Amino acid sequence: MTTTIRPAAVAGMFYPGDRRRLALDVQRMLEAASPAPLRPKALIVPHAGYVYSGPVAASAYVLLKDLREVIRRVVLLGPVHRVWVPGLALPAVDAFETPLGVVALDEPAMARLLQLPQVEVNEAAHAWEHSLEVHLPFLQTVLDDFVLVPLAVGGATPQQVAEALELVWGGAETLIVVSSDLSHYLPYDEATQSDQATVRAILELHTDLVGEQACGAHPINGLLLAARRHHLAPHLLDLRNSGDTAGDKSRVVGYGAFALTESANVH
C-alpha cells in the first residue's frame, strides 16, 4: 500500500529548507539552551520562524534529551491560521515530511479520535499550516523513532480538546505539545505586560485564554483543563518576544515556552 505524505510546506521560509543547514541550526539552538531539571508530560512551545522564536522553542525541546528513547508518540496540537475548523482536524495522510525525513502518523490513535464528534479529517486545514510543521525538526532531532498525532485546532472548547487528549494521553511514552505564540503586534512594553499576565494565567492553569493573549488559546485551554485533572505542575521555561530576538520593538510577537510535569522534581 502506498504511503501518503504531507510534504513540508514552509521549509525555506519559517526554517531552513536545506537538510544540513536545518540540522545545524536546530543543534546550535539546543546547545545554547539551558535545560531545567524537569521531565515534561506536556510542552507549550512557540511556532514562529526560527530566527524569531527558535531559541525559545529550544528551551522546551532540550528537556527531551534524556527522554530520547522513552517518548514514542507525540500528540501535537496547533491553531489553524488558514483554514478554519469548528473543532479539531486530523490530516488525510499517513506521514509528515521535513528536510530531516519522514514522521509516520499514529493511525490507531487517529482512528480513536475520529470517534469523537468534534474531530474531523480536513486535508485543507493541514496542507499549509505552519503551527504544527515547525516543531517537527526539533522533535526529529531530540527523539528517536516516534509516531505523530497532528491536530489542527479551530473553535474547539476546552472540554472538547481535553476529551480528545484523554483518548491519547498514554503514559511516559506519550508527549503532548501545544503550539502557540503569545501577543501579536503590540509595542514592546505593552507586549511585555500582556505576556506576563498570560504567563500568570497559564501557571495558574486558567482555561479561559483568548486569541489576543495567545494564538493557540483553544488548544492551550484544553491542555490546561486536562492538566488540572491529571495534577500536572506548570513551569515557565523562557519568555521573550521578537524585539528580544530578531525584530524591532515597535510591533512585536510574544513567545513563551512552558513544561507541564507530573511531579515538580523528577530529575
The per-residue pLDDT for 247 is 81
User: Is the model's pTM score more than 0.75?
Assistant: yes
Q: How confident is the model at residue 264 (pLDDT cuts 50, 70, 90)?
A: low
Characterize 81-115 residue by residue with b for buried, 16 or more Cβ atoms within 10 angstroms of its Cβ, and e for exposed: eebebebbbbbebbbbbbbbeebebbeebbeebee
pLDDT in tens, 69-81: 999 999 999 999 9
pLDDT at 24 over 70: yes
The domain 5-261 having CATH identifier 3.40.830.10: the answer here is yes
pLDDT in tens, 137-196: 999 999 999 999 999 999 999 999 999 999 999 999 999 999 999 999 999 999 999 999
Query: Are 175 and 124 a contacting pair, CB within 8 Å?
Result: no
534524556: which residue's cell? 66
Quote the DSSP letter at residue 5: E
The per-residue pLDDT for 1 is 65
Distance of alpha carbon 133 from the chain centroid = 9
Query: Are 78 and 162 a contacting pair, CB within 8 Å?
Result: no
pLDDT at 263 over 90: no
Query: Are 42 and 227 a contacting pair, CB within 8 Å?
Result: yes
Distance CA 26, CA 55 (A): 9
